Structure 1
């Protein structure tokens, strides 16, 4: 039994083997605090509250609330597409309480992003988008937003995982999503996930209800792509072949006969009349297993391959039809953009 008067009991378990004084964590904690404070002071003023719906006098009757990030001095603001929804009235409120109306330049439900422009002539504080490819698991990140209507709330955590995939409101898979344990709540959507270098490396987009510390942000590199597409075209260009389908297993005997290794494929359920798929001779019941040299293991793979680079190009497609492998050529067209009600 240990003697309670022994040096071990007096010094505690953190003491060294020779009774040395415990390590002082204060400098480390101070460095952590200073990093979070620095990020907050530099990026916080660029995070605005996004209010949607008609103006009301009673604060309890306010419409939707979310967050946004000012990314240019002339008032370009990134937020989530589900924050703006179909709202015709959008207002931005900065940390100083200044309110300006905003209009939507474009939305991309497939990545849950939207680009706004503030209507006011006042120059806004803005933040820079960083390179999310440089992130590492365990890296310190700070989330800034307006959860539950509480303005300019700051939480901190780490990058829990990289390269996650989540399903957007449109049903399409968002790739290269950042998972973080920085606390997020409703209202944080559209806010900034910031690195210790004060660069916006993600746009906070989703939480898992009932889970503790599992939150997601769309990577800044994805946001850069969406931003450039909306500025150039007003929407994000993607390829379209006119089919709907579901992920389905490939019967082993069919795979063996066809000489393919796919265990799953994209089963086509409906074919749009006069669309590219109809013109290519595709039929309901066909199972797509390869497109333009890329193996297709489900509907998500098929959607992923149909990007802007394959618009207007003849692509080789392989499908299983009644257990036999068939080679088909298909010519994707540009998908019609999402049209907001004005």
Structure 2
């Protein structure tokens, strides 16, 4: 295995009810050959309170717990669903969520494409023309604005408080079936995923809640009715969409980027650390006796890695004392840092182990 994973952005399909042809699919790469940067966002875990604790005094019977869980889910969907919008742009269809009463809407950049004006429809049947205030392909996020009053608003949560196994729901418009709800759990956190060739490799939420074409830009919510992510893509090994392997941009990332897009129309500060290398899994190809690690294919001149003395051909085997077995392992380690942090990198060069200290830079903006 070479550390590569094909993924597919959830495109904007034509609505089912009009029987229009075609769903655009774009094969995309995950972090196996990361050109000139390794990127990260803030991390952290918390706990969603459970209704039932085995062995606890006065534990609620399982049947009652199931009933309460269902009630929580229904209430969460009813809280957020009115703020979920259907988006039409360039003949395609996607989803979005109103997050501010002034009419600001979060969605994916690939939903709006290059359009400057799109049409949206609310659950109550109201339709509006929306302006695209800004879109960033690096984070695959966009902010729209509608001039309207009495708009429903979905509350934005805190993705740093998520836990693997937590129940979630995705709301969107797959294949034009508006306000469809699918349910699952958080399968993993901080998966290093790139949404497209132009996209950053950023930590994403992995979920088994069904995400289909048309869900892009819609909210992933918790059982308290808070938006915790923006549904963005599904894994597609060999170009075939996988079941139960969906990914969402964490809402904390979305909030940080939305603020810049709404006020400036572009992202000026990525907030992501920058190593300045192109890497791939080693697999023992470069250095005899080293059958693991991340092989540096290219080093950006004067970048953080170059300034620390790393070279093309070096195999990174550890970061801050933690073994690095592959590109994904390297990214997972770097996800724990931010721009300006100093990290200790161990690498093998011509059979010799070297240790250097790298001061991480900030990834350059990819906004147009």
What TM-score do you get using the length of structure 1 for normalisation? 0.70
- Measured against aligned partners, the alpha-carbon deviations of 1:255-312 in whole angstroms (never above 9, x if no partner) come to 7xxxxxx852111111223333333332211111233444333223444555695424
C-alpha displacement at 1:322, in angstroms?
0.4
Residue 248 of structure 1 corresponds to 282
> Residues 239, 37 of structure 1: CA spacing in aligned structure 2 closer, same or farther, 3 A cutoff?
closer
Residue 11 of structure 2 corresponds to none
> Residues 301, 97 of structure 1: CA spacing in aligned structure 2 closer, same or farther, 3 A cutoff?
same
Q: 2:194 aligns with which of 168, 180, 183?
A: 168
C-alpha displacement at 1:188, in angstroms?
1.1
Residue 198 of structure 1 corresponds to 225
C-alpha distance in 1 between matches for 2:307 and 2:186: 46
Unaligned runs of 5+ in 2: 1-62, 261-266
Q: Is the counterpart of residue 216 in structure 1 residue 234 in structure 2?
A: no
Q: Is the counterpart of residue 127 in structure 1 residue 161 in structure 2?
A: no
> Residues 30, 271 of structure 1: CA spacing in aligned structure 2 closer, same or farther, 3 A cutoff?
closer
Q: 2:144 aligns with which of 107, 113, 117?
A: 117
SS at match of 2:126: coil
Residue 17 of structure 2 corresponds to none
> Residues 51, 272 of structure 1: CA spacing in aligned structure 2 closer, same or farther, 3 A cutoff?
same
Q: 2:89 aligns with which of 52, 69, 81?
A: 52
C-alpha displacement at 1:247, in angstroms?
1.0
C-alpha distance in 2 between matches for 1:81 and 1:247: 30
C-alpha displacement at 1:202, in angstroms?
3.4
> Residues 83, 36 of structure 1: CA spacing in aligned structure 2 closer, same or farther, 3 A cutoff?
same
Structure 1 or 2: more helix by fraction: 1
Residue 337 of structure 1 corresponds to 365
Q: 1:97 aligns with which of 126, 129, 142?
A: 126
C-alpha displacement at 1:92, in angstroms?
2.9
Higher relative contact order (CA 8 A, sep 6+): 2
SS at match of 2:86: strand
C-alpha distance in 1 between matches for 2:342 and 2:288: 27
Q: Is the counterpart of residue 187 in structure 1 residue 221 in structure 2?
A: no
- Measured against aligned partners, the alpha-carbon deviations of 1:155-194 in whole angstroms (never above 9, x if no partner) come to 343327343736332466554524234x432101111233
Q: Is the counterpart of residue 67 in structure 1 residue 103 in structure 2?
A: no
C-alpha distance in 2 between matches for 1:302 and 1:212: 25
> Residues 150, 235 of structure 1: CA spacing in aligned structure 2 closer, same or farther, 3 A cutoff?
farther
> Residues 185, 201 of structure 1: CA spacing in aligned structure 2 closer, same or farther, 3 A cutoff?
same
C-alpha distance in 2 between matches for 1:106 and 1:211: 25
Q: How many aligned positions are there?
A: 294
C-alpha distance in 1 between matches for 2:122 and 2:341: 46
C-alpha distance in 2 between matches for 1:184 and 1:263: 36
C-alpha distance in 2 between matches for 1:49 and 1:211: 22
> Residues 305, 106 of structure 1: CA spacing in aligned structure 2 closer, same or farther, 3 A cutoff?
farther
Q: 2:273 aligns with which of 239, 243, 253?
A: 239
> Residues 192, 250 of structure 1: CA spacing in aligned structure 2 closer, same or farther, 3 A cutoff?
same
Unaligned runs of 5+ in 1: 1-25, 54-61, 256-261
C-alpha displacement at 1:136, in angstroms?
6.3
> Residues 239, 69 of structure 1: CA spacing in aligned structure 2 closer, same or farther, 3 A cutoff?
same
> Residues 35, 276 of structure 1: CA spacing in aligned structure 2 closer, same or farther, 3 A cutoff?
closer
- Measured against aligned partners, the alpha-carbon deviations of 1:56-109 in whole angstroms (never above 9, x if no partner) come to xxxxxx2x3210111121233222233234444333332223213222445363
Residue 316 of structure 2 corresponds to 288
C-alpha displacement at 1:121, in angstroms?
4.6
